[in-house]
Amino acid sequence: MTRMLVTGGAGFIGANFVHHTVENHPEYEVCVLDALTYAGDRNTLSSVADQVEFVHGDICDTEVVDRLVERADVIVHFAAESHVDNSLHNPEPFIRSNIIGTFTLLEALRKHGGRFHHISTDEVFGDLPLQGTEKFTEETPYDPSSPYSASKAGSDMLVRAWARSFGVAATISNCANNYGSFQHVEKFIPRQITNLLGDARPKLYGAGENVREWTHVDDHNAAVHLILSQGKLGETYLIGSGDERSNKEIMELLLGLMGLEPDAYDHVSDRPGHDLRYSNDSTKIRTELGWQPIYGDLREGLAATIEWYRENGWWWQPQKAATEAKYQVLGR
């Protein structure tokens, strides 16, 4: 058995990764390290609780990290503060968890060895013009816009430096926007779905022209497994479905799928510094590792996601009021 440590395994992508690993990769013995911040929920792992060890702890805690890294063969690092709007309100936890937390893991890896996969984001590259076909590649220079993306860029740079200077066996992936089950209701798609399920009006930032490349969380996690089994140490891989949509398009799709008029939403004030468009060129992972998204039809993926939120109010309802209270402070 290969011993795998998953940081942030009680969050959206990490928990889906743990489910995917338990279901499809019996060669791994999984341990999750998660601080259970507002974004982490142990209930997300309840169906696999017997198959996974759970450690409630912080990636900035040297003692815990050292102990867990020492007994792991592979570390998959999802833990992070992940929401741009929160980072604009209070950047401090982003610097702490995303930079100091990654540093703490890297120091333990330097001491004990082990293979490290660092989960990052396309936001480290900044943004692209709204019109046009330009894409980010593995060579695009970093140009982050928000405290969130700056902290993720910082963490990527640490990983690269620890790989080059200390020989830490690391890979990095930068994925586009994810959607799917167990995503916190602060994020765009689940916020709108749960507003509608609760008879509140959805909220579109600004004119809704900003473009995101939507990738199903299971496609992201399948890519991470490919990198773990076949990726080259020291390399970076960009992941993205290729399906780019404006926020307005997504809003109209969700409203249509939920049987409502396409204009049944409110415009709210725009996000400061709002990145215009993200788009990843994922040729490298497709050609070198043979990755392909399975969720080809975004409309179908969104319909399944709506169904999931409809049936799993037990999971998201406890987050909803506090999330909307935070948005009220931001005026969004």
- Positions touching ligand DAU (CB under 6 A) are 82-84, 121-123, 176-177, 187-188, 191, 203-205, 210, 212, 247, 271, 278
| Radius of gyration (C-alpha) of the chain in whole angstroms | 19
Q: Which does 204 bind (CB under 5 to 8 A by kind): ligand NAD, ligand DAU, none?
A: ligand DAU
Q: For ligand NAD, which residue of 60, 84, 108, 204 counts as binding (CB under 6 A)?
A: 60
Cα 279 to Cα 99, 101, 127, 283: the distances in Å are: 25, 28, 9, 12
Binding-residue pattern over the window 76 to 115 for ligand NAD, x denoting contact by CB under 6 A: --xxxxx--------------x---x--------------
Q: Is 127 in the site for ligand NAD (CB under 6 A)?
A: no
Q: Which does 14 bind (CB under 5 to 8 A by kind): ligand DAU, ligand NAD, none?
A: ligand NAD
Of 52-60, 134-142, 202-210, 268-276: span binding ligand NAD (CB under 6 A): 52-60
- Long-range Cβ contact pairs of 51-55 (< 8 A, separation 24 or more): 51/22, 52/9, 52/18, 52/22, 54/9, 54/10, 55/31
Of 4-12, 265-273, 300-308, 309-317: span binding ligand NAD (CB under 6 A): 4-12
Token look-up 């330009």 returns: 134
Q: For ligand NAD, which residue of 3, 22, 36, 276 counts as binding (CB under 6 A)?
A: 36
Catalytic pick among 148, 179, 278, 309? 148
Residue 107 phi/psi, 5° resolution?
Answer: -65, -40
Question: Shortest distance, CB of residue 205 to ligand DAU, whole angstroms?
Answer: 4
* 281 catalytically annotated: no
Catalytic pick among 123, 156, 218, 219? 123
Q: For ligand NAD, which residue of 21, 104, 171, 177 counts as binding (CB under 6 A)?
A: 177
Token look-up 């049987």 returns: 259
Q: How many C-alpha atoms does 29 have within 13 Å on its Cβ side? A: 8
Rounded-to-integer distance, Cα 261 and Cα 242, Å: 27
Rounded-to-integer distance, Cα 109 and Cα 114, Å: 6
Question: Shortest distance, CB of residue 246 to ligand NAD, whole angstroms?
Answer: 17
Rounded-to-integer distance, Cα 295 and Cα 37, Å: 30
Mark 232-249 as b/e (b = at least 16 C-beta within 10 Å).
Answer: eeebbbbbbbbbbbbbbb
Residue from 160, 77, 171, 177 nearest 122 by CA = 177
Interface residues with ligand NAD (CB under 6 A) are 7-8, 10-14, 34-37, 39-40, 58-60, 78-82, 97, 101, 119, 121, 152, 175, 177-178, 184
> Which amino acids are annotated catalytic?
122-123, 148
